Amino acid sequence: MDLNTARMKTLSIILAGGRGSRLKQLTDNRSKPAVPIAGKYKIIDFPLSNCINSSMRRIAVLTQYRSHTLNQHIQRGWNFLRSDFNEFIELWPAQQQTGGDWYRGTADAVYQNLSMINGLESEYILILAGDHVYKQDYSIMLQEHIESGADVTVACIEVPLHEADQFGVMHIDDEDNIIAFEEKPSNPPTMPGKPDVSLASMGIYIFNTKFLSENLNLDAHDDDSSHDFGKDLIPLFIGRCKIKAHHFSKSVVANSNYPDKPYWRDVGTLTAYWEANMDLTRLVPELDLYDEEWPIRTAQYQRPAAKFNYNYEERIGTALNSVVSAGCIVSGSTVEQSILFNNVRVNSYSHVNKSVILPRCDIGRHCRLNKVVVDSDCHIPEGTVIGEDPVADAARFYRNSDGITLVTQGMIEALSE
Residue 404 has pLDDT above 80, yes or no: yes
Residue 65 has pLDDT above 90, yes or no: no
Structural domain tally of the chain?
2
Same domain, 63 and 121: yes
**Residue 163, annotated as binding a ligand:** no
Band (174; pLDDT cuts 50, 70, 90): confident
Same domain, 272 and 332: no
pLDDT at 100: 58
Band (198; pLDDT cuts 50, 70, 90): very high
Kindly state whether residue 291 falls inside one of the protein's structural domains.
Answer: no
Band (294; pLDDT cuts 50, 70, 90): very high
Same domain, 200 and 324: no
Which are the contacts of 264, defined by CB distance < 8 A and separation ≥ 6? Answer: 132, 133, 134, 136, 157, 202, 248, 252
Band (128; pLDDT cuts 50, 70, 90): very high
More confident residue, 121 or 368: 368
Band (104; pLDDT cuts 50, 70, 90): confident
pLDDT at 126: 98
Kindly state whether residue 290 falls inside one of the protein's structural domains.
Answer: no
pLDDT at 97: 59
Global pTM value: 0.95
CB 376 within 8 A of CB 343: no
Mean pLDDT, rounded, of the chain: 94
Band (396; pLDDT cuts 50, 70, 90): very high
Average pLDDT over residues 4-11: 95
Q: Of the ranges 83-87, 330-334, 391-395, which one carries the lowest mean pLDDT score? A: 83-87
Domain range for 220 is 3-279
Same domain, 144 and 209: yes
Residue 194 has pLDDT above 90, yes or no: no
pLDDT at 260: 85
Same domain, 87 and 221: yes
State phi, psi for 192 to the nearest 5 degrees. Answer: -55, 125
pLDDT at 96: 62
Q: Which residues pair with 385 in a beta bridge?
A: 368
Same domain, 258 and 328: no
Same domain, 352 and 259: no
Same domain, 335 and 225: no
Same domain, 253 and 373: no
Same domain, 145 and 223: yes
pLDDT at 86: 87
Instruction: CATH number of the domain at 358, please.
Output: 2.160.10.10
pLDDT at 73: 96
Same domain, 220 and 321: no
Residue 98 has pLDDT above 60, yes or no: no
Same domain, 275 and 319: no
Which range has highest mean pLDDT (20-24, 103-107, 229-233, 293-297)? 293-297
Which are the contacts of 152, defined by CB distance < 8 A and separation ≥ 6? Answer: 205, 206, 207, 208, 211, 234, 237, 241, 242, 243, 244
Of 260, 279, 298, which residue is a domain's last?
279
Kindly state whether residue 300 falls inside one of the protein's structural domains.
Answer: no
Instruction: CATH number of the domain at 79, please.
Output: 3.90.550.10
State phi, psi for 273 to the nearest 5 degrees. Answer: -65, -45
**Residue 250, annotated as binding a ligand:** no
CA distances from 223 to 52, 62, 112, 219, 390 (A): 38, 23, 16, 8, 47
Q: Of the ranges 45-49, 170-174, 192-196, 272-276, which one carries the lowest mean pLDDT score? A: 192-196
Band (84; pLDDT cuts 50, 70, 90): confident
Kindly state whether residue 296 falls inside one of the protein's structural domains.
Answer: no
CB 341 within 8 A of CB 323: no
What is the per-residue pLDDT across 249-282, written as a single tens digit (0 to 9) for each?
A: 999 998 888 988 899 999 989 999 999 999 999 9
**Residue 183, annotated as binding a ligand:** yes
Kindly state whether residue 293 falls inside one of the protein's structural domains.
Answer: no
Residue 248 has pLDDT above 80, yes or no: yes
